[in-house]
Amino acid sequence: MEVKVENYGLAEKIDVEDKDMSFVNYKVTGLDSSSLEFLKENLEGEIQIKDNDLYIKIFYDEEMAPFSSDEAKAKIDDFIVREEIEMNVFLSSFLEDME
């Protein structure tokens, strides 16, 4: 399984409280069809499957967004790699529940 951050940024006023939220789009490759379906049915966020790849869009309060700190902005490539590793570990542990 490989996880890549495809996009991130600000999604304006998407929730019921009418406040700004941040988002991260992930592309997950290298999963079999049963893993894809399990994740699609059990993850939160906007989940899609296209061409045997899983696309996940997760929304965050601005304070919790992975790339909102000053340090993240200064070292964005490092923070993107870290986020990809963390999502890979999260999805791997989530898939352990499938068995």
Q: Tens digits of per-residue pLDDT, 14-45?
A: 554 556 788 899 999 999 999 999 999 999 88
pTM, to two decimals: 0.85
Q: How many domains does the chain have?
A: 1
Q: What is the CA radius of gyration of the chain?
A: 14
- Encoding tokens for residue 47? 């989940």
- Encoding tokens for residue 16? 């019921």
Count of C-beta atoms within a 10 Å radius of residue 13: 10
- Beta bridge partners, 95, equal none
**Angstrom distance (rounded) from CA 41 to CA 46:** 11
- CATH (domain of 92): 3.30.780.30
Structural domain boundaries, residue 70: 2-96
Calculate mean pLDDT across residues 69-98.
Answer: 88
